[in-house]
């Protein structure tokens, strides 16, 4: 229950931050860069070691790697629907109606991300999604604000998106999907790798060194390391 509430709160924080940060594109890009760095570091320091640390009689390390690669492919397909909202941008003209495909792609993406949280060894999986959800929610709400005048529709779309990851958590906990927790964790690891690396690559405009973005990356890495270290020391 607490996991679902935390995941829902990340969307609420994203909506609030949308009103505060998106008017300043520089600050919103720094936040996105930070989230990408945190996302990548959590994947490398915590999630991948967990996935590869549990090879079974059914799955060797090489087989697990195939599921990670499958996650990269799944994310590639999902972002053709969502138009890349997951890694921080959306290409719409102001007069263009908000396309449902973008929302559906993002909704499916969030459900898939939420599934492994149900059987994760720690809450670090959840915190990675929490941090990533904030800039994604900012961008989604901003797009809805530009293309949907109805407050009711904005509330409906954001509420549905907020419930997507908890719904994935439910599927991973209470359905037959729970029997495939290792496979789902590996697939989501691939999704995380794809998103985080694209965020970091795209944040480096013109391949020029930017001290503030570099600092955001380092802060993301350090915070992820501290998050993982707290879990290790608590056991």
pLDDT, tens digit, 9 for 90 and up, residues 28-54: 788 888 888 998 999 999 888 888 886
Average pLDDT for 85-93:
63
**pLDDT tens readout for residues 104-155:** 888 998 999 899 888 877 788 888 889 888 888 888 888 788 777 788 888 9
Mention every residue, 6+ apart, whose C-beta is less than 8 A from residue 32: 88, 135, 199, 203
Question: Residue 93 has which token pair?
Answer: 């003209």
- Report the distance separating Cα 185 and Cα 65, nearest Å: 11
Biggest distance spanned by C-alpha atoms of the chain:
55
CB 100 within 8 A of CB 77: no
**pLDDT tens readout for residues 160-203:** 999 999 999 999 999 999 888 888 999 999 999 998 888 888 77
């Amino acid at each position: 229950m607490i996991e679902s509430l935390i995941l829902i709160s990340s969307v609420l924080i994203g909506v609030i931050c949308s009103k505060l940060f998106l008017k300043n594109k520089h600050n919103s890009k720094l936040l996105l860069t930070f989230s990408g760095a945190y996302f990548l570091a959590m994947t490398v320091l915590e999630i991948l070691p967990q996935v590869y640390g549990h090879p079974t009689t059914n799955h060797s390390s090489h087989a697990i790697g195939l599921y990670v690669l499958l996650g990269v492919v799944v994310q590639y397909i999902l972002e053709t629907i969502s138009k890349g909202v997951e890694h921080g941008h959306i290409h719409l003209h102001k007069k263009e109606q908000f396309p449902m495909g973008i929302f559906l792609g993002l909704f499916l993406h969030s459900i898939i991300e939420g599934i492994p949280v149900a059987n994760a060894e720690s809450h670090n999986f959840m915190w990675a999604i929490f941090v990533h959800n904030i800039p994604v929610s900012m961008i989604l709400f901003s797009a809805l604000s530009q293309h949907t005048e109805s407050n009711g529709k904005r509330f409906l779309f954001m509420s549905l998106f907020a419930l997507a990851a908890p719904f994935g958590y439910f599927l991973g906990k209470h359905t037959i999907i729970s029997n495939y927790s290792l496979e789902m964790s590996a697939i989501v690891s691939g999704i995380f790798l794809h998103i985080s690396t694209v965020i970091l690559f795209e944040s480096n405009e013109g391949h020029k060194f930017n001290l503030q973005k570099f600092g955001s990356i380092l802060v993301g890495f350090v915070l992820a390391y501290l998050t993982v270290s707290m879990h290790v020391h608590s056991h």
